[in-house]
């Protein structure tokens, strides 16, 4: 079935199974009209009005579109790079910063396209990217990303990141990658004015995202918080990812990470944090009381040996929790359904199997992530929500003998969606992105990656 016309009603009929993220029965499927879910049908139910188009979903497991809350798209160019394959965060960064400083607009366009295509093929419909590198020549990095998002037809929260604390002033990044505060704040305001969309059907949103305590001055953190409040946009940063970061905060600012966050005006429900691992009980309670969200990045946290986020305690305290694949130099994939599987297994090690169900992990990847990004119109199958969804088949050998189709997505290792819809439009059909030549993209991207790491 090709893309339905906006004025026509589409019935995605009788799926093999459905996960709605809210407990609704969708055994009879869903009806879509005007880019929005009009009806969710229980077993044996039919649409309340005729549908011009019908898609038989008897082979498909239906879910809301998966939502990625933390990524670095450009890092697809430095996947599995040998010099950092066995490094933890700080040495990993120190080795990669000089490579990333050579990024060009063409590199970023390729890296972003690869990241978004991989996400889309994994069932992801909305992605948040944290881009904080603006070396000479890459001043319009976010503009480049906007164009790619629109080309692929996804939704995105693109964050105007920044680094202003270089090695000369006690920070981690080289001076060639830092910017003056005035430049950062002026460009942040420009991007919000140019691209930020509001409303339930927003495609592009902009957030402000100073990179981390070890790469940004207190001034930039404080002024970004004030600007975000004035412009009514969200805030994002890395926080409490490693014990090295905690030690840095104590030495540089005389504060633990959450104390520092509060001191610069960031302990608010406008903020979500990448990783959020090393919090004590009192800090978790404070984050929950403020409504500050956390992007849990299990694969990256394991890859860099950073630690395990206390997800169930965060949730119990009122902290919104979603999932992020993180950058493709610390994962090293951009695959949301596999990230949900990793979250399931990592959190079971900490809390036990009964407490961390397959449905709970899928909930982090859908409704939880939507809440983290402030996108209440996304992340679940319910009347009035945006028609963003993913559909997976269980026809491969890995699924043979599986009895629970929803559980099989994670337990049997689904890694690719058969169909993906964003705003009522099919963006993946039969496991392919219409109009995208993957072989050609891989060839160009691989060549750019080799050139980048070789410095020529």
Confidence of residue 1 (pLDDT cuts 50, 70, 90): low
* pLDDT tens readout for residues 288-300: 999 999 999 999 9
Contact 361, 410 (CB under 8 A): yes
Q: In the chain, what percentage of residues exceed pLDDT 70?
A: 100
Q: What is the mean pLDDT of residues 241-262?
A: 94
Q: DSSP 3-state assignment of 46?
A: coil
pLDDT, tens digit, 9 for 90 and up, residues 337-357: 999 999 999 999 999 999 999
**Cβ-Cβ contacts under 8 Å for 319 (sequence gap 6 or more):** 276, 284, 287, 288, 291, 292, 293, 294
Q: Is the pLDDT of residue 76 over 80?
A: yes
Confidence at residue 280, expressed as pLDDT on a 0 to 100 scale: 97
Specify the pLDDT at position 5: 78
Phi and psi for 232 in degrees, rounded to 5? 60, 60
Structural domains for the chain: 9-65+379-429 (2.30.40.10), 66-372 (3.20.20.140)
Portion of the chain with pLDDT greater than 90, in percent: 95
- Between 89-100 and 243-253, two packed helices, what is the crossing angle to 10 degrees? 80
DSSP state of 124: E
Q: What is the pLDDT of residues 10-21, one digit of tens each?
A: 999 999 999 999
446 pLDDT higher than 70:
yes
Rounded CA separation 310/303 (Å): 17
Measured between alpha carbons, how far is 322 from 70 in angstroms, rounded to an integer?
A: 9
Asked whether the beta carbons of 220 and 210 are under 8 A apart, the reply is: yes
Q: Does residue 411 register a pLDDT over 70?
A: yes
**Confidence band (pLDDT; 50, 70, 90) for 456?**
low
Q: Give the full edge-to-edge strand order of the sheet including 204-210.
A: 66-68, 124-131, 155-162, 204-210, 235-239, 271-275, 293-296, 321-323
Q: What is the pLDDT, as a whole number, of residue 123?
A: 98
- Look up the pTM and report it: 0.98
Q: Give pLDDT, residue 288.
A: 98
377 by DSSP, 3-state: which? coil
- Please tell me the total number of residues recorded for the chain in this structure: 456
pLDDT band at 2 (very low <50, low <70, confident <90, very high): confident
Tell whether the model's pLDDT for residue 176 goes beyond 90: no
């Amino acid at each position: 079935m090709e893309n339905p016309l906006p004025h026509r009603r589409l019935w995605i009929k009788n799926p093999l199974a459905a996960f709605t993220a809210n407990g609704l029965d969708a055994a009879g499927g869903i009806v879509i009209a005007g880019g929005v879910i009009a009806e969710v049908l229980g077993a044996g139910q039919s649409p309340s009005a005729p549908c011009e188009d019908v898609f038989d979903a008897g082979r498909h497991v239906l879910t809301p579109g998966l939502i990625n809350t933390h990524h670095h798209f450009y890092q697809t160019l430095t996947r599995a790079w040998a010099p950092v394959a066995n490094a933890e965060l700080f040495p990993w960064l120190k080795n990669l910063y000089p490579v990333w400083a050579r990024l060009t607009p063409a590199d970023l366009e390729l890296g972003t396209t690869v990241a978004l295509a991989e996400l889309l093929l994994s069932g992801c419909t909305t992605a948040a990217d944290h881009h904080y590198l603006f070396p000479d020549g890459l001043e319009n990095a976010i503009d480049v990303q906007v164009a790619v998002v629109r080309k692929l037809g996804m939704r995105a929260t693109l964050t105007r990141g920044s680094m202003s604390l270089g090695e000369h002033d006690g920070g981690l990044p080289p001076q060639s990658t830092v910017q003056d505060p005035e430049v950062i704040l002026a460009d942040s305001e420009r991007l919000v004015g140019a691209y930020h969309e509001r409303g339930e059907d927003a495609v592009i949103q902009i957030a402000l995202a100073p990179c981390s305590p070890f790469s940004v001055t207190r001034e930039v953190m404080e002024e970004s918080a004030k600007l975000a409040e004035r412009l009514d946009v969200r805030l994002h940063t890395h926080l409490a990812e490693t014990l090295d970061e905690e030690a840095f905060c104590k030495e540089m600012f005389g504060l633990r990470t959450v104390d520092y966050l509060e001191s610069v005006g960031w302990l608010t429900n406008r903020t979500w944090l990448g990783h959020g691992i090393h919090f004590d009980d009192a800090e978790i309670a404070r984050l929950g009381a403020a409504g500050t969200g956390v992007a849990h990045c299990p694969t990256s946290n394991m890859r860099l040996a950073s630690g395990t986020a206390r997800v169930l305690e965060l949730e119990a305290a009122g902290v919104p929790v979603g999932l992020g694949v993180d950058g493709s130099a610390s994962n090293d994939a951009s695959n949301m359904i596999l990230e949900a599987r990793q979250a399931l297994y990592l959190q079971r090690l900490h809390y036990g199997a009964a407490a961390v169900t397959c449905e709970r992990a899928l909930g982090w990847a859908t409704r939880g992530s939507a809440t983290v990004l402030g996108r209440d119109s996304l992340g679940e199958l319910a009347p009035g929500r945006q028609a963003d969804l993913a559909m997976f088949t269980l026809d491969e050998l890995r699924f043979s003998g599986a009895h629970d189709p929803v559980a099989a997505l994670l337990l049997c290792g689904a890694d690719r969606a058969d169909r993906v819809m964003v705003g009522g439009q099919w963006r993946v059909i039969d496991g392919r992105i219409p109009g995208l030549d993957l072989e050609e993209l891989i060839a160009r991207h691989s060549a750019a990656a080799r050139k980048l790491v070789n410095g020529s």
